[in-house]
Amino acid sequence: MSSKVTAASRSRLADIIHARSFGRGKIKLASGKESDFYFDMKPTMLDPEGASLIARHLFDAITDAGADYVGGLEMGAVPITGGVCQHSFEEGKPIRGFFVRKQAKDHGAKKVIEGLTKTESLAGKKLIIVEDVTTTGESAYKAIEACRETGAEVVLVISIVDREDGAKEFFASKNVPFKSLYQASEFLARP
């Protein structure tokens, strides 16, 4: 861990996630599955302290991966990507960002991947895909496929929270490294 990432800051981020983003109750997940708990990470990702801690911890977790870019599928990856890019610059190790649209725009340049200039390309670049919450891994895999179509190599998928619902196994079956800052069980164990 870097000097800015400590057990105390990890605990503080978990407290923020628990207070602002974790809930119990029946809900249908993006995967189509039903669950009796959920994570709505937007309140944490858009909280000043939460956003700062997420960026700091994700940057620390990915800094050795040797990536050229960080990004992921809209909507959840957008605030994460911005925070990590800013933090990387502040640390003197800048990583550029991008995001993948769920569908190409039907107007303008009709791009699927946003954040690049006209002269930039992901071809031959090493990418890290970020997610707020990972359930099965299929949402992040849509971003991986779009990035691979450009000729990029995805070197890691990292999530703030792994719901422990098959993503680790899914990514292993696709030969894509996966890690998360937290597992759902850490929040389920809390009162």
Q: Domains of the chain: which residue ranges?
A: 7-188
Fold of 7-188: Rossmann fold (3.40.50)
**Tens digit of pLDDT for each residue in 136-155?**
999 999 999 999 999 999 99
DSSP the chain: --TT--HHHHHHHHHHHHHHTEEEEEEE-TTS-EEEEEE--HHHHTSHHHHHHHHHHHHHHHGGG--SEEEEETTTHHHHHHHHHHHHHHTT---EEEEE-SS--SSTT--SEES--TT---TT-EEEEEEEEESSSHHHHHHHHHHHTTT-EEEEEEEEEE-SSSHHHHHHHTT--EEEEEEHHHHHT--
- Band of the pLDDT at 108, cuts 50, 70, 90? low
- Band of the pLDDT at 111, cuts 50, 70, 90? confident
pTM of the model: 0.93
Average pLDDT over all residues of the chain: 94
